[in-house]
């Protein structure tokens, strides 16, 4: 995942509480994983780059003069995708589509060092 975002916050002593938001892009892979031989049903995987937005918040706490720790949570929405769903048996006219919402939450922890 990549993002171009800003953040705004307030300090409370050694801690910074902040909100963040901006653009996001993610590599998405979907489909059916290949079955092991001798299965007659081949796999079908596709990849794409989804673009959308992200928002969230977190805190960054100074541990000493150079070190700080960060904990944040991000919501990412990269839109929706529509896929053809084959109903058994394969190769009949019973084709339908399914829509998938490409949204997820990321929680991350970081340890930072400042060279000042």
Domains of the chain: 2-32+43-77+105-113 (2.40.160.20)
C-alpha 86/C-alpha 32 separation (Å) is 12
The pTM score is 0.73
Write out pLDDT tens, residues 100-114. 889 999 999 999 999
Whether the predicted pLDDT of 42 surpasses 90 = no
C-alpha 46/C-alpha 28 separation (Å) is 8
- Biggest CA–CA distance in the chain, Å, is 67
Query: Across all residues in the chain, what is the average pLDDT?
Result: 85
- 52-68: buried (b, 16+ CB within 10 Å) or exposed (e) per residue? bebebbbebebeeeeeb
Considering only residues 44 and 16, tell me which one the structure prediction assigns the higher pLDDT. Answer: 16
What's the average model confidence in pLDDT over 24-53? Answer: 73
């Amino acid at each position: 995942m990549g993002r171009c975002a800003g953040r705004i916050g307030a300090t409370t002593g050694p801690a910074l509480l902040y909100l963040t938001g901006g653009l996001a892009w993610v590599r998405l892979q979907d489909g059916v994983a290949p079955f092991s031989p001798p299965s007659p049903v081949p796999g079908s995987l596709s990849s794409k780059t989804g673009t959308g937005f992200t928002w969230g918040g977190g805190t960054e706490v100074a541990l000493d003069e150079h070190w700080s720790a960060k904990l944040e949570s991000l919501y990412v929405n990269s839109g929706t995708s529509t896929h053809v769903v084959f109903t058994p048996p394969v190769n009949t006219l019973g084709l339908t589509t399914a829509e998938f919402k490409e949204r997820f939450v990321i929680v991350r922890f970081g340890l930072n060092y400042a060279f000042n």
